[in-house]
């Protein structure tokens, strides 16, 4: 797995990006059902994590 320097974003913004990625991968059939399930699980877990307060 590569280390990608993602820009810092709120959980809402990150959730939006994860949802877009999930939909795109699902529609294109580029990943297995298990991989889609893992991405969906990450999205759902993200909703449970509060955004960090601004530094």
Residues whose CB falls within 8 Å of the CB of residue 43, separated by 6 or more in sequence, listed in order? 15, 18, 19, 22
Contacts of 2 (CB under 8 A, 6+ apart): none
Tell me, what's the pLDDT at 43? 79
Q: In this structure, what are the phi and psi dihedrals at residue 52, rounded to the nearest 5 degrees?
A: -65, 145
Q: Compute the distance between CA of residue 40 and CA of residue 30 in angstroms, rounded to an integer.
A: 15
Query: Structure pTM?
Result: 0.56
Interval 16-50: pLDDT, tens: 888 888 888 888 888 888 888 888 888 788 778 77
């Amino acid at each position: 797995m590569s280390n990608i320097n993602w820009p810092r974003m709120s959980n809402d913004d990150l959730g939006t990006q994860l949802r877009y990625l999930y939909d795109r991968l699902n529609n294109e059939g580029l990943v297995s059902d298990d991989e889609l399930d893992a991405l969906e699980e990450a999205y759902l877990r993200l909703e449970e994590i509060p955004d960090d307060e601004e530094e």
